[in-house]
A = this chain, B = another copy of it.
């Protein structure tokens, strides 16, 4: 977790104080459920809630852990200092540490997912606004970095919207998958604790009881969670790369917003570098790097080993904090991205009409010229544009083999931009349900 790439709300989910707060709630709710079935006295359960508003002393707990080398015991010892040893001895009855740790971890991941969903909403809103704003802003579509046919900037935003919306749906699913809790004892048999305790605790915390746990909640859930974040990060990199290309000196169809006080480089003041999107490219790698260890964590020896734990201590906070920061940076970048429609037009016209070659090819075929001949005719005129800077339309109008098949008016019509944008509304309706 790097401070400069962190937002406080997500960071706070992972702070020790939050963790101990969740542990407390798990233990206190468990006491209620144990009291409800008569395993412990009601007054002891109630007494635990005395600590409800306590801010647990993280340093003190660390101190105890330094001796016991066991974090949950350290916490329970500290809790006893608040509710009294007499009441405290009923706490954690029949439970195992992992009941607390794993349920807490999933509460944290669920909350993290909620923040990330809000982040994605901000990204989606920005993309939608910019898509409608530039629905008809014509630019050249490119494949292989080479001009292909006209499209619009709105379509570019719209496809990022559709991709991010898929990401959001996946995250909703991943959140649901990770929102489980387990209070099932040392090997998951409920031998020492009634399943009703798990049900109660989960209901109170907004979780679903884990179908079947061992000492731990199965880690395929976590693997799927981090894999989902990895795909979202990859989509983010896809958007970032588009902007980086648009901001290239030679392209200059867009620029990240450049605030007044900002210095682009210590040496070249004229430079406005796409540093936000380059940064997002790197952050995507950081998010993605959690996927493999999360998958390696799925295999645990028998009813559990603790190899997954150190991995999760790192990737739990780091990955969610990084993605949270990155999605917000992404949203802000999109919201303020400066678009240059004039440059888009200028770029499109760089190879005077050449991007219309596909239409001419089709028209020739439809006019009865064979596919091979049509190809040859288009190719020979196109090459003049490419190599000598000729105007494509002019060349076509001067090629007797072409004019034998197409009238000047027909050729002229092939260069109409409206032809390329006629289905923009259709596509917008698919993406946004409106156009």
Contact = CB atoms under 8 A, between A and B. Distances in A.
Interface in A82-99: 85, 88-89, 92-97
Contact of A250 (B214, B272, B306, B350): B350
A206 interface: no
Interface string A125-156: 00000000000000011111111111100010
Contacts of A420: 189, 191
A282 interface: yes
Nearest to A382: B270
Contacts of A350: 249-250
Given A187-B148, A430-B212, A266 B72 contact: yes
B190 A426 contact: yes
Interface string A143-173: 1111111110001001100110011001001
A168 to B, nearest CB: 12
Contacts of A146: 247-249, 271-274
A149 B242 CA distance: 24
Contacts of A282: 297, 306-311
Nearest to A2: B313
Interface string A268-294: 111111110011011101101111110
B293 A142 contact: no
Contacts of A220: 163, 166-167, 231, 234-235, 238
A304 B149 CA distance: 12
* Oligomer: number of copies: 4
Contacts of A289: 289-290, 292-293, 315
A188 B141 contact: yes
Contacts of A266: 70, 72-73, 76, 92, 96-97
Interface string A180-219: 0000011111111001000000000000010111110010
Contacts of A211: 162, 430-431
Q: How large is the interface on A (under 10, 10 to 19, 20 to 34, 35 or more residues)?
A: 35 or more
Contacts of A67: 261
Contacts of A269: 357, 361, 375, 378-379, 382
A70 B267 CA distance: 11
A250 B309 CA distance: 24
A52 interface: no
Given A72-B266, A286-B293, A295-B231, A241 B301 contact: yes
A18 interface: no
Contacts of A72: 266
Interface in A235-275: 235, 237-238, 241-242, 244-245, 247-251, 259, 261-263, 265-275
Nearest to A39: B366
A273 B143 contact: yes
